[in-house]
Amino acid sequence: MEMAKPTEADKEQFRSLLAALPGIEIKPMFGNLGAFVNGNMFAGLYGSTLGVKLTEADRDELMASRETLPFISAERPMGGYAGLPVQGSPEEIEPWLARALAHVAELPPKAPKTAKPKK
């Protein structure tokens, strides 16, 4: 499976959608982007798809209210995530980003990885 790559416009839109959210970190991930809180990813950009990690109830609500996309691929969707077009309306996307951030912020912080000793 070839990895989808976002355009510069997709990356700019992703950063713009997340700009007002407090305490987050955006990091590159395999040519795409991820948004993290306390070391846990709550949103990601894969190609032109914005994935949000939601509670099961929120994910069901989102999927019932509009068409969503698999996040990463239809063959191997990333569990717990629902996908939206990153170039969609900010008014429609931002509330779901806020819900994803609130959900993932409640998870225990992820411990930083320790560097493996060099051989």
The CATH number of the domain where 69 resides is what?
Answer: 3.90.1150.30
pLDDT-derived band at 30 (thresholds 50, 70, 90) equals confident
60-81: pLDDT as tens digits: 999 999 889 888 776 777 788 9
How much is the pLDDT for 62?
94
89 within a domain of the structure (yes/no): yes
Which residue from 30, 20, 5 is spatially nearest to 86, judged by alpha carbons? 5
Residue 45: give the domain boundaries.
8-105
Q: What integer is the mean pLDDT of 53-61?
A: 95
Residues 6+ apart with CB under 8 A from 50: 14, 17, 43, 44, 83, 84, 85, 86, 88, 93
22 within a domain of the structure (yes/no): yes
> Looking at the 3D structure of the chain, how many domains does it have?
1
20 within a domain of the structure (yes/no): yes
How much is the pLDDT for 58?
96
- pTM for this structure? 0.87
How much is the pLDDT for 72?
77
111 within a domain of the structure (yes/no): no
Mean pLDDT score of the chain: 90
28 within a domain of the structure (yes/no): yes
Please check whether residue 35 is in contact with residue 26, taking contact to mean a CB–CB distance below 8 angstroms. yes
